Amino acid sequence: MSNIPENLRYSKDHEYVNVNGDVATIGITDYAQHSLGDVVYIDMPRVGDKFGTHESFGSVESVKAVSEIFTPVAGEVVEVNEGLNDTPEAVNNDPYNSGWMVKVKMDNPGEADAMLSAAEYEEYLEASN
């Protein structure tokens, strides 16, 4: 089974959110990176870009496919993981730490609470396989 850290919240699109105050660090889950295969390029937004809940903020290109990435919470991009430009494989190697994608200042910090817990996400994965 995939690596599903307890302290994060999850979307059914396989993004995770790590909440720190009103800032959400967003990336794709271990399950998502396994499904994609080797990540070779990531198209990300710029600092200052604003997104609504479940809007596409970029894409991940792997050896298998190109997949859109959606923001599970609404807000403004305050930081982009520039390191992924040089080492997109960090998404495969360490999706929850060095492989994070963007940090978003949430319009409504409570929005992340409605996302799936680690246990709920694990149940969702089991039910969809």
Q: Flag whether pLDDT at 111 surpasses 80.
A: yes
Q: Flag whether pLDDT at 2 surpasses 80.
A: no
Q: Is residue 51 part of a domain?
A: yes
Q: Flag whether pLDDT at 1 surpasses 90.
A: no
DSSP 66-113: EEEEEESS-EEEEEE-THHHH-TTHHHH-TTTTT--EEEEESSGGGGG
Residue 90: domain span: 9-108+116-123
Query: How many domains, the chain?
Result: 1
Q: Is residue 21 part of a domain?
A: yes
Stated pTM of the model: 0.95
Q: Is residue 37 part of a domain?
A: yes
Quick: pLDDT tens for 36-59: 999 999 999 999 999 999 999 999
Q: Is residue 66 part of a domain?
A: yes
Quick: pLDDT tens for 8-38: 999 999 999 999 999 999 999 999 999 999 9
Q: Is residue 2 part of a domain?
A: no
Q: Is residue 3 part of a domain?
A: no
Section 73-80 average pLDDT = 98
Average pLDDT along the chain: 95
Section 107-116 average pLDDT = 94
pLDDT above 90 as % of the chain: 95
CB 30 within 8 A of CB 10: no
Domain CATH number, residue 36: 2.40.50.100
Q: What is the pLDDT of residue 129?
A: 77
Cα–Cα distance, 28 to 37 (Å, whole number)? 12
Q: What is the pLDDT of residue 81?
A: 98
Q: Is residue 79 part of a domain?
A: yes
CB 43 within 8 A of CB 80: no
